[in-house]
Structure 1
Amino acid sequence: MTTPIQPALDGTVPVASVSNSHRQAEDYEAWLAEVWPKFIAVAATGRTFTCYQVADENRLSDPPNPQAHWGRLMTLLRDEGYIRTAGWACSDRPTTHHSGVRTWKGTAAARREAAA
């Protein structure tokens, strides 16, 4: 869904600028193919991270349904054995007002996947 561009008072239409942080994928499978390798790479480092940190650092697009699909991605990565829960932290996402979010850490399976 795109937001209409409001013409200026002189009648000109400004060029729409879409930052990477505000891109939204229209297809879940295509979005998953885009973000999956980035999360595997971060998991392979062994550092503790939040979902938003990885998305922000890699300027990943939002999924078709951000409220559900980010969490689903993390569940898929956990179920596949690439990440495990590491604890909780305050979110860096500007719209969350520092609410608590789960932190994740990569597993040996993620390190093997990145080495392959």
Structure 2
Amino acid sequence: MPAQQPTLDGTLPVPAPDYHTWVDQVRPAFVAAARTGRLFTSYEIAKTNDLPEPPNPRADWGNLVLSLVRDQVIEHVAFDRSSRPTGERSAVAVWRGTRAAQAGRVA
């Protein structure tokens, strides 16, 4: 078993969940946002709902959003500037729930 570095307060860090466990934790917040019909970015949903970071943040946020598109929960609307502090105002996708999501026909 590999050694684990304790945090500054002496506790051991909680290991990150695997991708599928993480998706199960965060997907309901995105489905709820899709049902409202309002425009959003993935960062706004993560920040508003205090969602945990995924195991691989560089890839997993995009994978989650693409799975929501494939499942017809959300659709791409536009691009905007990122409000993420580390995003350097780069372009990000803006999403909206599909009509089916707004009607509560998808989960």
Bin for the TM-score computed over the shorter chain: 0.7 to 0.9
Distance 1:84 1:62, change over 3 A: same
Deviations 1:48-104 (A, max 9, x none): 000000000000001111100100010000011111001011111100111110100
**What SS does the aligned partner of 1:63 have?**
coil
AA in 2 matched with 1:83: I
1:5 aligned residue: 7
Which residues of structure 2 form unaligned runs of 5+? none
User: 2:106 & 2:5 partners in 1: Cα distance?
Assistant: 42
The 8 Å contact of residues 33 and 45 in structure 2, kept in 1 or not, is answered as: yes
Give structure 1 stretches of 5+ with no counterpart: 7-13
Size of the alignment, in residue pairs? 103
- Provide, for residues 6-35 of structure 1, a one-character-per-residue CA deviation record: whole Å limited to 9, x for no partner: 5xxxxxxx366x9xxxx8732111101011
Q: Given that residues 72 and 106 in structure 2 are in contact (C-alpha distance below 8 angstroms), is that contact kept between their aligned partners in structure 1? A: no
Q: Report the identity percentage.
A: 40
Decide which structure has greater helix share.
Answer: 1
- 60, 74, 77: which is aligned to 1:86? 77
Structure 1 residue 75 corresponds to structure 2 residue 77: no
The 5 A counterparts of 1:53-72 are 53-72=44-63
For 2:71 and 2:41, locate their aligned partners in 1 and report how far apart those are by CA, in whole Å. Answer: 18
**Larger-Rg structure:** 1
TM-score scaled to structure 2, two decimals?
0.83
Which amino acid in structure 1 is aligned with residue 7 of structure 2? I
